[in-house]
Structure 1
Amino acid sequence: MTRPRQTSPIETAPTPAPARRAWVEQIMGMPISIHLRGADVDGPAAQEAVAGAFRILREMDSIFSTYREDSDLMRLRREEVDVAQCSPLVEEALRIGQEAEVLTRGAFTTLLPTGDGDLAFDPTGLVKGWAVDRASVRLSGLEGISFCINAGGDLLIGAHPDMPTDGPRAITWRVGVEDPLDRQRIASTLTLTRGAVATSGTAARGAHLYDPATGKLVGRPGSVTVTGPTLLWADIWATALFVGSELTGEAFATSATDYLSTAL
């Protein structure tokens, strides 16, 4: 007579949390932090990639800052140079701004009010997201590593192409979306392995978003959060949807099918 074999569930050790490391620098007048999670986050490759990402962010600030008298943008506005004498990125910013104005039905513009009461070329509304997207290229080649760049509350999350987007080996990031009417409260939480999150509104900085249709700054309470593949366009659309009309919302629905928006 054979004795029945006794079985018991096999207990597996929980997957250890990935190592993490963070760096922060003050650039563009705001804290910008880079967070790495995964393998060898303290290794020389990671250190070099992070340093390279910060160099790109500082370069963008040196070109487009409205607070630095020697930036290409301010020299251009003073007519000391023309576009051809500036960094090629200035011409690219002009092109992106024109494209954004068309796509958003005029709700986004790079002609913004100055302290003198007139309008001047100011791509501030697109430079931050664009700079983060450019900087992220230096991080996406790190094998076994997922990253998050946080630029004043707007985020870009990415990873090496070989990193899974789901399953037990995926590294996920939880992003809290602030309630614009109560900044101590998180209104919702997003879970991402890749993607950008941008929020525009008046909770943090008051009436600072310009509505080209009225020629005035928008002061109403609330916010719009946009998620999608790039921080450049997530930020552009968040601004446009906050200040724009129903036409802008319709344009978003038809032109930005890879992006999602939430109004609070």
Structure 2
Amino acid sequence: MRIDEQPRTRWVDPAVFHHGGRPDLRLGGRHHRIDRPGTAVGDRIDVRHTVRTSTAEYSLLLNAPAWLGRRGVGEALRDAVAELRAIDLTYGPARPDSLVSRLRRGEISPDSYPPLADLVDRCAAMRAATDGWFDAWAVPGGFDPGGLLGGWAVERAAGRLRAAGIHDYAVLTGADLVVRGHAAHGGPWRVAVHHPTDRRRAPLVLEMTAGAVGTSGVTGRQGHVVDPHTGEPAEHLVAATVVGPDLAVADAYATALYAAGPTGLAWFRNGSDYRALFAHRR
């Protein structure tokens, strides 16, 4: 499992936001939320953009250096959006002509395309890391990377932003996000993560400069995660949320934890770079 950068996350008492501060982002329920427009500090360019593909909605928040200029920031944004759209078209398991579908039919091998090989390798690594509870091959047809495909897409789009010179950003989809650097106000990204079922609970509040939050179980779809050992819908938990360095890995861990139930909490011990925020029983 490759990790480019260790997560930098600080846990904050939610009460601090009653004294003048507010979260920049909220996660929980079926949708993410951006609490307020950012106010750029210093010589920065603050951009917010939402894009929909056939399977998901993404929000990109950029706190870009002024030296890039509006044109450069626009090009970086278009490049990241193009990556999200390309992954939807090229790797979506539901698309008969996608590389994943062609791989399932035996028409190509994983090594035919380097990104496909990376996707398959990541699925294999997560199968090993979760004792088989995340298993992209335990589905009809032989291979479905859906449990980490969305996180993988976001990480690749974020890589496009960094390559263009933007190192302060947040990219959100559903109840998942990846952040790096600082928000428009000049401080760490302040993320309020709400309990998946009990809206009366105060949210967990994170201050993040590098890291990701992945969630499984809050889409409202029944049976969307199956127990790979039995093929039956998982029913131990109503939701699972995991924080760590990489969103593809956090997503896969959340999916596996949702399937395994409390047994999966053992994966986050012994110095793991990932942590379970929520593993709520039914």
Instruction: Answer whether TM exceeds 0.5 for this pair.
Output: yes
SS at match of 1:210: coil
Quick check: 1:59 aligned with 2:86? yes
AA aligned opposite 1:74: S
> In the alignment, what sits opposite 1:146?
168
CA distance in 1, matches of 2:254, 2:264: 11
CA deviation digits over 1:4-56, x for unaligned, max 9?
A: xxxxxxxxxxxx64352211111251111111125438711211111111122
Are the structure 2 counterparts of residues 184 and 70 from structure 1 closer, same or farther at C-alpha, using a change threshold of 3 Å?
farther
> Equivalent pairs: percent with the same residue?
30
* Residues 203 and 223, structure 1, Cα contact 8 Å, conserved in 2: no
Gaps of 5+ in 1: 1-15
Partner of 2:75: 48
Task: Report which of the two structures shows the higher radius of gyration computed on alpha carbons.
Answer: 1
Length-normalised TM-score, structure 1: 0.77
SS, match of residue 120 in structure 1? coil
What is the identity, as a one-letter code, of the residue corresponding to 1:154? D
The one-letter code of the counterpart of 1:77 is: R
- Paired residue for 1:90? 116
Range moving further from structure 2, 209-218 or 168-177 = 168-177
Matches within 5 A, 1:166-205: 170-182=186-198, 187-202=203-218, 204-205=220-221
Give the TM-score taking structure 2 as reference length.
0.73
The reply to whether residue 259 of structure 1 matches residue 245 of structure 2 is no
Which structure shows the bigger proportion of residues in strand conformation? 1
1:120–1:190 Cα change, 3 Å: same
Are residues 153 and 53 of structure 1, via their aligned partners in 2, closer, same or farther at CA, if it must alter by over 3 Å? Answer: same
Residues 89-110 of structure 1 deviation map (CA, whole Å, 9 limit, x = unaligned): 2232222211111111111010
State the alpha-carbon separation in 1 of the partners of residues 201 and 220 from structure 2. Answer: 14
1:127 aligned residue:
149
Taking a change above 3 Å as real, the CA distance of residues 143 and 82 of structure 1, as seen in their structure-2 partners, is: closer
Alpha carbons of structure 1 residues 172 and 34: separation in structure 2 relative to 1, 3 Å: same
Structure 2 counterpart of 1:156, from 154, 166, 178: 178
| Per-residue deviation, 1:121 | 0.6
Partner of 1:26: 52
- Indicate if the aligned counterparts of 1:181 and 1:221 stay in contact, CA closer than 8 A: no
Q: CA distance change for structure 1 residues 251 and 75 in 2, over 3 Å: closer, same or farther?
A: same
Aligned position for 1:101: 127
Matching residue of 2:32 = none
CA contact (8 A) 1:62 1:72 kept: no
- AA of the residue aligned to 2:133: A
Note the C-alpha offset of 1:111.
2.1
Taking the aligned partners of 2:220 and 2:199, their CA distance within structure 1 comes to 9
Report the Cα distance in structure 1 between the residues aligned to 2:167 and 2:152, rounded to whole angstroms. 22
